[in-house]
Amino acid sequence: MNILSPSLLSIDFNNIGRDAAILDKAGVSWYHLDVMDGAFVPNISFGPPVIKSIRKITKAFFDVHLMINEPKRYIDAFKDAGADLLTVHCEACGDVNETINLIKKAGLKVGLAVNPETDAEVLEPYIDKVDMILIMSVHPGFGGQKFMPVAIEKLKWVKKKAADKNKELLIEVDGGINFENVSSVLDAGANVIVAGSACFNGDIADNVRRFNDLLS
Ligand code: DX5
Ligand code: ZN
C-alpha cells in the first residue's frame, strides 16, 4: 500500500487547525514535518514546540524529517513532542549507526535520508537497520522546487537492495512531486510520497483525492 505524506512546510500556518481537519477528513494518515536548523540547510522552519501543538489536533502518524546537524541531540525532544518516525540525513549525523540505535532505543521508527548529490550506495550498511529510506529529489531546504530525475535510479537501487535482503522497507521520496511525475516515482519503487506545494496549492481536499487515486 502506498502512503501520501503531505509536507506541512507548504501549509498556511494561520489556518493550521482548519487545514489539518481537511487533511484528516480527506483520509490523510501521515503528516510530513520538515525541521530545518539554518545550518545543515539554508532555511529555518520549526521544532518540537510547534510539532507538540500540531499533535493536539490530529491523530495522524508524524513523519518527522530532520534536516539538522547532529540530530541525536534532539531525539527525546521530538519524541516528547509526539513524533512517530524520525528521519535523519546520513550527511548530518556523524555516527550514523549510533544515531539509528538511539532513535530505536527511544521507541521511535527510524528513517535515513540522502541528498541528491550523495550516492545511494552509502545506504547499503543501514538498509537492514531502518524502517524507511528517504530519497531526496530536491536540494533540501525549500518547498516548491523542481523534481531532480537523479532520484529515479536511486529509488530503483533501494527497491532492489531491499528485495535482495528480503527486507520490508518504506521507501520515501521527497521534493517536487506532482500529479504529472508521481507515477514515475511509484514505478521506480517509492511507496511513501511526500508532497508539499502540490497538496496545499489550491483545493487541499481535491489535491489529496487526486493523489490518492494515483497512489492506489
Ligand atoms: C524540502 C522538504 C520537502 C518539501 C517538499 O527540503 O524536505 O519536504 O517541503 O515540498 P514540495 O513538494 O513543494 O517540493
Ligand atoms: Zn521533507
Best residue among 5, 174, 185 to mutate for probing ligand 1, ranked by most atoms within 8 Å of CB: 174
145 lines ligand 1 (CB under 6 A): yes
**CB distance 50 to 9 below 8 Å:** no
Q: Which atom of ligand 1 is nearest to the CA of 177?
A: 12
Mean pLDDT of 91-105: 98
Using one digit for the tens of pLDDT, what is the confidence trace for 22-67?
999 999 999 999 999 999 999 999 999 999 999 999 999 999 999 9
Rounded to the nearest 5°, which phi and psi values hold at 117?
Answer: -90, 0
Please give the grid coordinates belonging to residue 126. 543501514
Residue with cell 556523524: 94
The predicted model scores a pTM of 0.98
Instruction: Tell me, in angstroms, the distance from the centre of ligand 1 to residue 165's CA.
Output: 30
Instruction: Tell me, in angstroms, the distance from the centre of ligand 1 to residue 115's CA.
Output: 12
Q: Which residues surround ligand 2, an ion (CB under 5 A)?
A: 34, 65, 174
Q: How far apart are CA 210 and CA 65, in angstroms?
A: 24
Q: How far apart are CA 176 and CA 193, in angstroms?
A: 10
| Active site positions, annotated | 34, 174
Average pLDDT, the chain: 98
**CB distance 63 to 84 below 8 Å:** yes
